[in-house]
């Protein structure tokens, strides 16, 4: 027995949740058939046990040094790698994603954990600041002050539907919370429970290997929303991370804001990710741009938060021909299976809404399908787009709306009319740079990430990445949910005043044992 | 005409608000008489004009380089200094604070602006992160990614009642927002309108001197809560800063959370700031400790957010004698005038609540006074303190509650029972260090700042300070409201992907023109 057998039961610290809750099955969205594995919803008592264990584990994790935290993250990575064959079995079955995607996403998830491991092992991320005291200062002696970032406490992570590994149980939210020193309780997404349980077992093995407290991690299954809601209201939970719909994120935010002690909800809720195609670029290399945007808009059946849902294209004959070209590419795209039935239904509603909007032209909409992601392309004039905010809303799936712009002024108005975005892209040649510069000025106020001559899909996991943005793309634009900057979500700053060196955290001790980069008396130095 | 004449009208950018709104007067809390200066409440139209101007100014301020932002902050400092005689006239009249305090607080406010000026002139605070692309990477080319912190947009600041300069119009919240590159709209506290207007005129002079857009700053007077509420709901406002009561902070938070686009409210709401006096220290230097804590608890008529409202003192004869000693010091303290009538009334309610709590012993409570801050000392056994959360609530004023602890376990239970705190202090000699170490482990989870052998009053303005803490001390424990770390409240992170060097902000350009410390391909370097 490897200890990695799936049982369909929640993981509450080192224990299993009891059977008896509402059952649900893993489901194959391609065949539309149940898979032979039943999952049992956790009870509220399970959730309470998970938060109590997390609360006990919290100070232990907060006190781990960078090397210990890094070892834990690396151990999770290694245990995920050991399960590669199982993930490559379960992920395609549960999600309909191709096995190359499952394999690539697993590699991404592992690389993500290793990035965080290296970052916390180096350790300077705690932003240590030291000011030596001055007993001779008048009228008052200056105290010795030392502050740094510290773990916030138990974090609840909601697994995302569209990334069964990278934004799920051992994904970026969990990795950044553990890196910051926080215990994690994951509410598994019911669309991929087997993949979730398998990832959970890898994490549990890492906890055992590293000798960490069992409350470092729990995984809760639930067919309903009761457990998520109970976790949000639990007084021991200090923050929440979520990737999903705006409606879902808003609901979580409202629950958290109504607590006697409000807590932050870091929700990434998607956006239309506008792409502005500039005239010179369009004239010089329209075919290549069409191919690039078509691939970005339809890959993975369009099920990415950064999918380009709005393309702003110049008015006129060159633009007209380009739109026909792009429509042809959409027409030649096979219908893919969507991740879940609710996503497919919601997508169908979205394209029907666009198709029935007066003034919106259907360039390519195949016959509707109950579960398939039919690639869909629409077109609208800028004046209508500017006057109808419903056209600014994301249709999650392989759907794009082309907005025909009269000129730069029109494009600027379109940019200004948009709500907060995860990304905004400008496709430009050097002859477009002056206009692009003006456009970027507006777009950088609207989006967490601005791109030139690339596509918004493909979110690099790194220190410099921002995957977030102003409302409604996300709830807190100081950070995003991808890369090491995401750790700030799960930290608090604490200051120690005149505390003897031996009682200080190592990161703040005078000898700087880990050789961190620190701000000492106003100067950054190691 | 110096342009610095007080008119009792709001400052809406470069204009004055119109008279006609509800009038209120500056008020002398010592004589309980109106001062000969009438103020006119702003209209909702004034507030809308202020936010529209701020919205226009926002991209201009966001684009200023560090040198320009520093020059503005330094210019405000210089214009405040020019008004020193007027502040020394108005602040004591409006607040009852002694003139030495007014002068000291002005110096603190000026030093605070200069600290931020130096910080943004150096510029590395933007946390620039650069990762060079790699076109040869497979399966996908690695993009060039560059991210940094950027200004969030218009910020509303509510002036505090208890610091007419340092936490008011040109105080720490405003300074940190301007430093981050945000326009500021201040809702003046009605308890010190003349000081507020004079500070506003200094800021306006600095805006003119530096050639900044008028929307960089507006100041709104209001006798009611209507303008504050309108500002919170205004779609152009991106964040709110507040220092005051828990009830006030909670009300703002609830309004902001209910917006269609929720925004953060950074509220600092005070706490009881527990001080744990350890046995060896008590035995060795009880008299000195009593003098130190008495001074901290009663200075400024106890009207500090960091006032030590709970003192945990060992059970037994040494502790008994110390308590008598401290009560004697309280008895010898003159009654001071409180800042405002509502504060005095609330203080009176607070001490009456303690005095009437079964099991709470009154050690020194003078006859009640409608406007005076009567120094008040109470005592309670730990079991009662642990069982009654109302005893954990702040009584804003010169009031302390002594909790008698049986032993270290008891002190730890007391520490664990407390809600979030701005500060927590341990008074210890070397013989107490082992116990203190255990206690600090608990306290650093509870407070934004932990101290040894000092007093919590006196908040240093610096890079390492934290003036904040877990709920209900504050709303967002990642930062505080004092010192340069406070700037994070008003920032968002933005990433530029594959954007040509010439179109990037200077802080991210390859040549690093300002020689910032940046994270380049995972290494910190200039």
The predicted structure's pLDDT at residue B4: 87
Contacts of A320 (CB under 8 A, 6+ apart): none
Mean pLDDT of chain B: 96
With CB atoms and an 8 Å threshold, state whether B452 touches A503: yes
Phi, psi of B312 (to 5 degrees): -100, 120
**The pLDDT of residue B288 is above 90:** yes
In this prediction, residues B16-33 reach a mean pLDDT of: 94
Q: What's the rounded Cα separation, in Å, for the pair B141 and B175?
A: 43
- Contacts with A, B 41-70, CB within 8 Å: 58-59, 62-63
Closest alpha carbon within chain B to A517: B524
Top-confidence residue, B364 or A35: A35
Q: Which tens digit of pLDDT belongs to each residue from B108-167?
A: 999 999 999 999 999 999 999 999 999 999 888 999 999 999 999 999 999 999 999 999
Contact predicate B387/B417, CB 8 Å: no
The C-alpha atoms of residue B96 and residue B117 are separated, in whole angstroms, by 31
The confidence band for B319, taking pLDDT boundaries of 50, 70 and 90, is very high
Q: What are the DSSP calls for A303-332, one per residue?
A: --TT---EEEEESSHHHHHHHHHHHHHHHT
For residue B423, which of A507, A504, A495 has the smallest C-alpha distance? A495
Nearest-5° Cα angle at B268, B491 to A470: 25
Q: Is A515 helix (H, G, I), strand (E, B) or coil?
A: coil
Confidence of residue B1 (pLDDT cuts 50, 70, 90): very low
pTM to 2 decimal places: 0.97
Return the closest-CA partner of residue A166 out of A434, A482, A377, A443: A482
Please indicate if any CB of chain B lies within 8 Å of the CB of A464: yes
Asked if A254's CB is within 8 angstroms of B497's CB, the reply is no
Cα–Cα distances in Å, from B19 out to B2, B23, B203, B416, B440? 22, 9, 21, 52, 54
- Tell me which of A61, A430, A440, A497 to substitute to probe the interface with B (most B C-beta atoms closer than 10 Å): A497
Burial class (CB in 10 A: 0-12, 13-18, 19+), B25: middle
Cβ-based contacts of B118 with chain A (< 8 Å)? 522
B59 and A433 in contact by Cβ < 8 A?
no
Helix %, strand %, coil % for chain A, to 5? 45, 20, 35
Give me chain A's average pLDDT, please.
96
- CB-CB neighbors (< 8 A) of A133 in chain B: none
- With CB atoms and an 8 Å threshold, state whether A437 touches B471: no
| B510/A contact by beta carbon, under 8 A | no
B122 is catalytic: no
Q: Which residues of B touch A449 (CB under 8 A)?
A: 494-497
Residue of A495, A502, A516 to mutate when probing chain B, most B C-beta within 10 A: A495
Chain A, nearest residue to B497 by Cα? A451
Give the whole-angstrom CA distance, residue A4 versus residue A199.
9
pLDDT on residue B367: 57
pLDDT at B104 over 80: yes
Residues B6-23 pLDDT 10s: 999 999 999 999 999 999
Distance CA B66, CA B79 (A): 20
Cross-chain residue pair A494–B450, CB shorter than 8 Å = yes
B494-519, pLDDT tens digit by residue? 999 999 999 999 999 999 999 999 99
Q: Is A429 exposed, middle or buried (0-12, 13-18, 19+ CB in 10 A)?
A: middle
- pLDDT score of A66: 96
* pLDDT tens digits along A142-158: 999 999 999 999 999 99
Q: Do A460 and B143 touch (CB under 8 A)?
A: yes
Contact assignment for A257 to B261 by CB distance below 8 Å = no
Count of alpha carbons within 13 angstroms of residue B474, beta-carbon side: 33
3-class DSSP assignment, residue A520: strand
Q: Does B152 touch chain A (CB under 8 A)?
A: yes
pLDDT of res. A22: 96
Q: Give the list of residues 6+ apart from residue A407 with CB closer than 8 angstroms, or none.
A: A315
**Chain B residues 418-437 with CB within 8 Å of chain A:** 419-420, 433, 436-437
How many whole angstroms separate alpha carbon A129 and alpha carbon B483? 12
Name the pLDDT band for A4 (thresholds 50, 70, 90): confident
CA-based nearest distance B492→chain A, Å = 4
- CB contact, 8 Å: A281 with chain B? no
Mean pLDDT, rounded, for B350-378 = 84
Alpha helix ranges (H) inside B27-167: 44-63, 66-82, 84-95, 99-122
Q: Measure the CA–CA gap between B172 and B241, rounded to whole angstroms.
A: 10
User: Order of strands across the sheet with A523-525?
Assistant: A523-525, A518-520, A129-131, A145-151, A491-497, B447-452, B421-427, B275-277, B310-314, B399-405, B376-381, B361-365
Inspect the interface and report whether the beta carbons of B460 and A503 lie closer than 8 Å: no
Examine the pLDDT at A246 and tell me if it is beyond 60.
yes
- The answer to whether the CB atoms of B131 and A464 lie below 8 A apart is yes
Catalytic-labelled residue, pool B182, B305, B399, B491 = B305
The whole-number average pLDDT for the span B250-259 is 97
Cβ pair A444:B496 closer than 8 A: yes
> Could you give the CA distance from residue B426 to residue A277 in angstroms, rounded to a whole number?
62
Among chain A residues, CA nearest to B426: A499
Confidence of residue A1 (pLDDT cuts 50, 70, 90): very low
A152 vs B: CB within 8 A: yes
Angle at A344 between CA A338 and CA A346, to 5 degrees: 145
List of chain A residues whose C-beta atoms are within 8 Å of the C-beta of residue B419 = 261
d(CA B123, CA B119): 6
Give the closest of A264, A440, A472 to B503, CB-based: A440
Q: Do B87 and B198 meet the contact criterion of CB atoms below 8 Å apart? A: yes
CA-atom Rg of chain A in angstroms? 25
- Inter-residue contact B53 to B12 (CB < 8 Å): yes
- Widest Cα–Cα separation across chain B: 82
Q: Is the complex ipTM more than 0.95? A: yes
Inform me whether the pLDDT recorded for A100 exceeds 70.
yes
pLDDT at B371 (0 to 100): 61
Q: Report CB contact under 8 Å: A495, B437.
A: no
CB of B27 closer than 8 Å to CB of B39: no
Instruction: Report chain B residues whose CB lies below 8 A from the CB of A491.
Output: 478
Q: Residues 380-409, chain B: which have Cβ within 8 Å of A?
A: none
Question: pLDDT tens for residues B469-483?
Answer: 999 999 999 999 999
Inter-chain contact B499–A440, Cβ cutoff 8 Å? yes
Tell me which residue in B140, B464, B468 faces A129 most closely, judged by beta carbons.
B464
- State pLDDT tens for residues A373-414: 889 999 999 999 999 999 999 999 999 999 999 999 999 999
Q: Choose among B124, B445, B495: nearest Cβ to A449.
A: B495
Does residue A180 register a pLDDT over 80?
yes
At a CB cut-off of 8 Å and minimum separation 6, what does A312 contact? Answer: A274, A275, A276, A277, A382, A402, A403, A405, A411, A414
Dist CA A58 CA A312 (whole Å): 48
- Candidate from B118, B437, B454 with C-beta closest to A143: B454
Evaluated on CA atoms A502, A507, A511, A513, the torsion sign reads: positive
> Measured between CB atoms, which of B454, B472, B499 is closest to A450?
B499
How does residue B369 score in pLDDT terms, banded at 50, 70 and 90? low
Q: Which residue of A has its CA nearest to B505?
A: A441
Supply the pLDDT for residue B3.
Answer: 75
Distance from CA of A369 to the nearest CA of B (A): 32
Average confidence (pLDDT) over A162-181 = 97
The yes-or-no verdict on residue A467 having pLDDT over 50 is: yes
What is the least distance, in Å, from the CA of A155 to any CA of chain B? 15
CB atoms within 10 A of CB A97: 26
Interhelix angle A99-122/A84-95, nearest 10 degrees = 120
Q: Residue length, chain A?
A: 526
Contact A475 B262 (CB under 8 A): yes
Q: What pLDDT does A364 receive?
A: 79
Q: Please say if the pLDDT value at position B331 is more than 50.
A: yes
**What is the pLDDT, as a whole number, of residue B368?**
55
Model confidence over A408-436: pLDDT tens digits? 999 999 999 999 999 999 999 999 999 99
- Annotated catalytic residues of A are 268, 305
pLDDT of residue A371: 61
Backbone angles phi, psi at B28, to 5 degrees: -95, 110
Residue B182 annotated in active site? no
Q: A261 with B472: CB under 8 angstroms? A: yes
In tens, the pLDDT along A111-128 reads 999 999 999 999 999 999
Residue A211: pLDDT over 70: yes
Residue A3: pLDDT band (50, 70, 90) is: confident
Give the residue-averaged pLDDT of B26-35: 93
Q: Which of B147, B257, B478 sits opposite A257 (nearest CB)?
A: B257
Q: What number of other Cβ atoms are within 10 A of residue A33's Cβ?
A: 10
Which of A459, A385, A507 lies closest to A123, judged by CA?
Answer: A507
Are A257 and B254 inside 8 Å of each other by CB? yes
Tell me the DSSP string of A405-467. ESSHHHHHHHHHHS--EEEEEEE--GGGHHHHHHHHHHHHHHEEEEEESS-S-S---SSS---
């Amino acid at each position: 027995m490897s200890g990695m057998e799936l049982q369909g039961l929640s993981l509450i610290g080192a224990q299993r949740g009891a059977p008896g809750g509402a059952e649900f099955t893993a489901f194959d969205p391609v065949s539309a058939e149940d898979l032979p594995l039943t999952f049992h919803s956790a009870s509220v008592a399970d959730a309470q046990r998970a938060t109590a264990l997390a609360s006990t584990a919290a100070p232990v994790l907060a006190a781990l040094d960078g090397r210990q935290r890094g070892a834990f993250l690396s151990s999770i990575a290694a245990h995920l790698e050991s399960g590669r064959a199982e993930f490559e079995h379960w992920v395609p079955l549960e999600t309909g994603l191709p096995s190359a995607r499952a394999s690539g996403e697993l590699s991404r998830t592992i690389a993500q954990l290793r990035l965080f491991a290296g970052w916390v092992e180096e350790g300077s991320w705690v932003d240590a600041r030291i000011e030596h005291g001055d007993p001779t200062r008048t009228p008052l002696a200056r105290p010795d002050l030392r502050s740094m970032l510290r773990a916030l406490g138990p974090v609840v992570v909601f697994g995302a539907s569209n990334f069964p590994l990278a934004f799920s149980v051992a994904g970026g939210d969990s990795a950044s919370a553990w890196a910051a020193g926080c215990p994690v309780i994951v509410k598994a997404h019911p669309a991929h429970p087997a993949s979730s349980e398998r990832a959970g077992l890898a994490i549990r093995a890492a906890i055992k290997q590293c000798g960490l407290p069992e409350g470092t991690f729990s995984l809760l299954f639930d067919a309903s929303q009761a457990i998520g809601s109970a976790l949000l209201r639990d007084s021991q939970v200090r923050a929440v991370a979520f990737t999903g719909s705006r409606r879902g994120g808003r609901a979580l935010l409202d629950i958290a804001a109504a607590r006697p002690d409000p807590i932050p909800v870091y929700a990434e809720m998607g956006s239309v990710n506008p792409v502005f195609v500039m005239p010179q670029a369009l004239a010089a290399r329209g075919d290549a741009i069409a191919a690039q945007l078509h691939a970005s808009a339809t890959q993975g059946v369009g099920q990415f938060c950064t999918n380009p849902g709005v393309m702003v294209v110049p008015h006129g004959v060159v633009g007209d021909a380009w739109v026909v070209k792009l429509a042809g590419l959409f027409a030649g795209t096979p219908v893919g299976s969507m991740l879940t039935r609710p996503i497919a239904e919601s997508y169908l509603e979205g394209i029907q809404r666009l198709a029935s909007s007066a003034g919106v032209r259907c360039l390519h909409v195949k016959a509707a399908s109950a579960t398939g992601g039919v690639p869909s392309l629409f077109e609208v004039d800028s004046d209508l787009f500017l006057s109808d905010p419903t056209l600014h809303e994301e249709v999650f799936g392989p759907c794009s709306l082309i907005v025909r712009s009269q000129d730069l002024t029109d494009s600027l108005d379109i940019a200004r009319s948009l709500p907060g975005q995860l990304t905004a892209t400008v496709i430009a040649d050097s002859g477009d740079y002056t206009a692009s510069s003006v456009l970027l000025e507006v777009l950088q106020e609207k989006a967490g990430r601005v791109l030139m001559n690339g596509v918004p899909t493909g979110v690099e996991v790194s220190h410099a990445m921002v995957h977030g943005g102003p409302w409604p793309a996300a709830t807190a634009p100081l950070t995003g949910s991808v890369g090491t900057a995401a750790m700030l979500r799960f930290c608090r700053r604490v200051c120690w005043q005149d505390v003897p060196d031996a009682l200080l955290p190592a990161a703040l001790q005078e000898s700087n044992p880990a050789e961190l980069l620190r701000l000492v008396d106003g100067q950054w130095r190691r």
